[in-house]
Amino acid sequence: DAGVIQSPRHEVTEMGQEVTLRCKPISGHNSLFWYRQTMMRGLELLIYFNNNVPIDDSGMPEDRFSAKMPNASFSTLKIQPSEPRDSAVYFCASSFQGDGYTFGSGTRLTVV
């Protein structure tokens, strides 16, 4: 298995632009998680899905953030409009029934 695949690996964008991060979970995993990592706050859970349904989005910082999981093999995290304080590494992770928790390589987002 190729593991959890995220794209792009790096994204640099201007403030106000829309940013879309993508994630392909491990095949067979039924839970998917989006995390954000910064030096100040560490790894923060933004949202997680179980069987493609959003279960808890209480970590999503603002209405500018939205996430979708249209099918079991794909999820997106969108920021619109982006702001410099959104700069961070965004990780996607997947698991099966809470087991085999595996992270993707992350997307490093820089908003200038």
Partner 1 sequence: EDKVVQSPLSLVVHEGDTVTLNCSYEVTNFRSLLWYKQEKKAPTFLFMLTSSGIEKKSGRLSSILDKKELFSILNITATQTGDSAIYLCAVDHSGYALNFGKGTSLLVTP
End-to-end CA distance of the chain: 36
**Cβ closer to partner 1: 68 or 81?**
68
Distance (Å, whole) CA 97 – CA 81: 34
Q: Hunting for tokens 């700069």 — which residue is that? A: 87
**Minimum distance, C-beta of residue 81 to partner 1, in the bound complex (Å):** 27
Q: Is 56 in the site for partner 1 (CB under 8 A)?
A: yes
**Cβ closer to partner 1: 18 or 52?**
52
**Minimum distance, C-beta of residue 41 to partner 1, in the bound complex (Å):** 8
Window of 17-25, 43-51, 60-68, 69-77 that interacts with partner 1 by CB under 8 A: 43-51
Beta bridge partners, 12, equal 110
In the numeric block, which tokens belong to residue 36? 């954000």
